[in-house]
């Protein structure tokens, strides 16, 4: 049974883990390596006992760190730059520092989370970086938290900032079907446990249903929001006896770039043979060949909004979850359009002819 007592000591943790107090101290302070098996055992006991090191409590009682933390699952894609820029602008306004770390619970169950109440005054958590147990522990310890591109687990009521994905995806698939007569559209999924990926898939299915197109399970592949994964899976599909497709919806622009590369390597023309569209409108999207049709998302504003919510929490003010709308469909040559066009709620605005 999980203890919620604030009187849990390092000796209690050592006793239940079957190790010395010195070993627990080494693990907490990370000044001497311990084995993965031992680290996992200690972490489980700390979670079970809801243990918070005493030096952390003393630190929090005396002064703030004037630092906020950001947990990402990777820093390898173009997507994160504008989001971090938005976060940093608000952090700087508040005369705080930003500490960024990469972490993914599913890949590092034996590793202690490198940021928390011991070195930050609050945390921003991206998508599926932390599992529900980690979020519960941080919430129990009253760490100010804001989730980005993920809604709160039930009963925790952690504020979040998300983006509307489903409608924008449906409109983009509608465009492929109605403007370019593409009816065999391959869907490159993002990570299966991310809400953005799920919402975009629902938008894809909405459009197919609205146009009377039967869902073909052979027209789904993994893209994982990563260009190399999308590239490898498209190459494999093209070399196998898979269903033929005349368009690709990539879960994000990174995956779209991987798909474009794979298509070119086998001699398929974009958009003449296969149309390709993405999502996010990253800074590279207008510079690749052909320029990429995509959905423009308010990524920098997501970062700003999340940081503002976090500072509200740190200052003891209310912080309500918010969902931002996508900024419009950007029609470029990769889908078959001859004009660089922004699709807005008031219509299409042509900005450049190719």
Q: Is the pLDDT of residue 34 over 80?
A: no
Residue 49 has a pLDDT of 85
130 found inside a domain: no
Q: Is the pLDDT of residue 41 over 50?
A: yes
pLDDT band at 342 (very low <50, low <70, confident <90, very high): low
Q: Is the pLDDT of residue 25 over 80?
A: no
Residues 78 and 82: their CA atoms lie apart, in Å, by: 8
Nearest-CA neighbor of 213 among 260, 246, 256, 254? 246
The residue with greater pLDDT, 13 or 246, is 246
CA angle 267, 248, 212 (to 5 degrees): 130
Q: What is the mean pLDDT of residues 206-223?
A: 96
The residue count for the chain:
354
pLDDT band at 107 (very low <50, low <70, confident <90, very high): low
The count of domains in the chain is 2
Nearest-CA neighbor of 278 among 299, 252, 260, 297? 252
Nearest-CA neighbor of 131 among 189, 56, 67, 73? 73
Q: What is the mean pLDDT of residues 111-135?
A: 88
Residue 348 has a pLDDT of 47
Same domain for 201 and 349, yes or no, is yes
Please say whether the beta carbons of 155 and 96 come within 8 A: no
Please say whether the beta carbons of 114 and 101 come within 8 A: yes
CATH number at residue 8: 1.10.260.40
Q: What is the mean pLDDT of residues 127-146?
A: 91
25 found inside a domain: yes
**For residue 129, cis peptide bond before it (omega within 30 degrees of 0):** no
CATH number at residue 267: 3.40.50.2300
Q: What is the mean pLDDT of residues 57-76?
A: 75
pLDDT band at 27 (very low <50, low <70, confident <90, very high): confident
Q: What is the mean pLDDT of residues 192-209?
A: 96
Domain, as residue range, for 254: 166-297+326-353
Residues 330 and 279: their CA atoms lie apart, in Å, by: 9
pLDDT band at 116 (very low <50, low <70, confident <90, very high): confident
Please say whether the beta carbons of 49 and 13 come within 8 A: yes
Q: Is the pLDDT of residue 77 over 90?
A: no
Nearest-CA neighbor of 327 among 207, 194, 168, 166? 168
């Amino acid at each position: 049974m999980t203890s919620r007592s604030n009187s849990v000591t390092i000796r209690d943790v050592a006793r239940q883990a079957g190790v010395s107090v010195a070993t627990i101290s080494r693990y907490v302070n990370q000044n001497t390596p311990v084995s993965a098996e031992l680290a996992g055992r200690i972490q489980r006991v700390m979670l079970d006992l809801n243990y918070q090191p005493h030096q952390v409590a003393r630190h929090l009682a005396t002064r703030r760190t004037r630092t906020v933390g950001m947990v990402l699952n990777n820093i390898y894609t173009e997507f994160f730059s504008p989001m971090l820029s938005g976060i940093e602008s608000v952090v700087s306004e508040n005369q705080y520092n930003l500490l960024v770390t990469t972490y993914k619970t599913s890949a590092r169950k034996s590793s202690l989370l490198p940021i928390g109440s011991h070195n930050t005054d609050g945390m921003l958590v991206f998508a599926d970086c932390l599992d529900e147990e980690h979020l519960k522990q941080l919430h129990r310890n009253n760490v100010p938290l804001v989730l980005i591109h993920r809604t709160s687990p039930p009963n925790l009521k952690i504020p979040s900032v998300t983006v509307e994905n489903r409608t924008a995806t449906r409109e983009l698939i509608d465009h492929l079907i109605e403007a370019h007569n593409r009816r065999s559209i391959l869907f490159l999924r993002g990570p299966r446990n991310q809400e953005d990926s799920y919402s975009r898939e629902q938008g894809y299915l909405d459009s197919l249903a609205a146009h009377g197109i039967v869902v073909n399970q052979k027209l789904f592949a993994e893209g994982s929001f990563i260009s190399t994964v999308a590239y490898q899976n498209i190459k494999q599909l093209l070399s196998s006896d898979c269903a033929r497709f005349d368009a690709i919806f990539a879960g994000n622009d990174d995956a779209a770039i991987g798909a474009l590369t794979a298509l070119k390597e086998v001699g398929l023309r974009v958009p003449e043979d296969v149309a390709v569209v993405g999502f996010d409108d990253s800074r590279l999207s207008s510079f690749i060949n052909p320029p990429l049709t995509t959905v423009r998302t308010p990524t920098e504003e997501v970062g700003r909004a999340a940081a503002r919510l976090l500072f509200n929490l740190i200052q003891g003010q209310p912080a309500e979850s918010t969902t931002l709308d996508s900024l419009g469909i950007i029609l470029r040559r990769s889908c078959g359009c001859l004009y660089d066009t922004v699709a807005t709620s008031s219509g299409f605005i042509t900005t450049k002819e190719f």
